């Protein structure tokens, strides 16, 4: 799987270090002294000095800005997207969403002998948090809590739907809105190379290599009858 070249999130460099000293003894539990250090170009602390009022105010403003960013995580820009099935917002939240059957360009490693080109895929249900992704296929057009989930017909997936992202660096910003979050995860998934099956997992009936060789050579709709069912229903993802 390849390293994505797009820039996701932000890079940070150290500019300030704080050391908090407390007087010893039980009678001094709330007596503190804060020492501030600047950072040189190698990231080493220098110029130790008492924390100033101005530095304290700047730190307070930075913390408030960080809190606002965290509160914006997974917040939709406007109306809730119609394809979102479930949203658990917050710093450790997750999203479950649905995508319809569609043609998507898929990337395969050379050893599979499958051309990297567009092919029709089935409807999918996605569940993603900040650092992990699960993908399943569905055959129903109307989704209910009782909807049966099928294995997504792709390589690089475990039998519980988790996606092995290989060496792809996942960078989800702390202030990522809901729409961007969904777009980033779909980009990570479809812009990475499919390479192998994991642990004998068989997502479809028959030979998956021959399946994608045929689908990438034609405009044939994805044959949902070859999907293997999981033990999960949609309601099992909502937790």
Tell me: do 102 and 196 sit in the same domain: yes
As a whole number of angstroms, the distance between CA 105 and CA 22 comes to 59
pLDDT for the residue 73:
85
User: pLDDT tens across 16-72, in order?
Assistant: 888 888 877 666 566 777 888 888 888 888 888 887 877 776 776 565 545 444 456
Q: Residue 138: CB partners within 8 Å, gap ≥ 6? A: 98, 122, 123, 124, 125, 147, 148, 149, 150, 234
As a whole number of angstroms, the distance between CA 168 and CA 211 comes to 26
Q: Which helix (H) or strand (E) holds 55?
A: helix 53-71
- Give the residue carrying structure tokens 């000095």: 49
Q: Is residue 25 in a domain?
A: yes
Tell me: do 38 and 126 sit in the same domain: no
pLDDT for the residue 5:
38
pLDDT for the residue 22:
81
Q: What is the mean pLDDT of the chain?
A: 86
Domain carrying residue 35: 16-71
As a whole number of angstroms, the distance between CA 2 and CA 100 comes to 26
The predicted model gives 106-125 an average pLDDT of: 97
For residue 81, the tally of other CB atoms under 10 A from its CB is: 15
Backbone angles phi, psi at 152, to 5 degrees: -65, 135
Tell me: do 132 and 67 sit in the same domain: no
Number of domains in the chain: 2
Tell me: do 95 and 197 sit in the same domain: yes
Q: Is the pLDDT of residue 95 over 90?
A: yes
User: pLDDT tens across 118-167, in order?
Assistant: 999 999 999 999 989 999 999 998 999 999 999 999 999 999 999 998 87
Pairing of strands 193-194, 107-108: parallel
The residue ranking higher by pLDDT, 168 or 83, is: 83
Tell me: do 128 and 149 sit in the same domain: yes
As a whole number of angstroms, the distance between CA 173 and CA 187 comes to 15
The residue ranking higher by pLDDT, 14 or 185, is: 185
The predicted model gives 206-213 an average pLDDT of: 97
pLDDT for the residue 29:
60
């Amino acid at each position: 799987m390849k390293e994505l070249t797009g820039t996701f999130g932000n890079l940070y460099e150290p500019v300030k270090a704080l050391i908090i000293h407390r007087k010893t003894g039980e009678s001094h539990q709330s007596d503190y002294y804060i020492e501030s250090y600047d950072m040189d170009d190698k990231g080493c602390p220098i110029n130790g000095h008492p924390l100033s009022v101005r530095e304290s105010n700047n730190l307070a403003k930075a913390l408030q800005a960080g809190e606002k960013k965290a509160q914006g995580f997974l917040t939709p820009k406007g109306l809730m997207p119609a394809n979102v099935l479930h949203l658990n917002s917050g710093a450790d939240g997750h999203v479950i969403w649905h995508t319809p059957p569609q043609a998507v360009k898929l990337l395969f490693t050379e050893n599979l002998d499958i051309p990297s080109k567009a092919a029709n895929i089935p409807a999918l249900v996605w569940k993603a948090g900040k650092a992990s992704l699960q993908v399943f296929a569905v055959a129903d057009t109307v989704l209910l809590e009782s909807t049966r989930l099928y294995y997504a017909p792709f390589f690089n997936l475990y039998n519980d739907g988790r996606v092995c992202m290989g060496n792809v660096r996942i960078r989800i910003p702390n202030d990522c809105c809901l729409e961007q979050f969904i777009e980033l995860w779909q980009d990570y998934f479809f812009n990475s190379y499919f390479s192998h099956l994991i642990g004998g997992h068989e997502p479809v009936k028959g030979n998956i290599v021959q399946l994608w060789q045929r689908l990438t050579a034609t405009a044939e709709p994805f044959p949902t009858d070859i999907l293997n069912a999981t033990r999960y229903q949609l309601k099992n993802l909502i937790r």
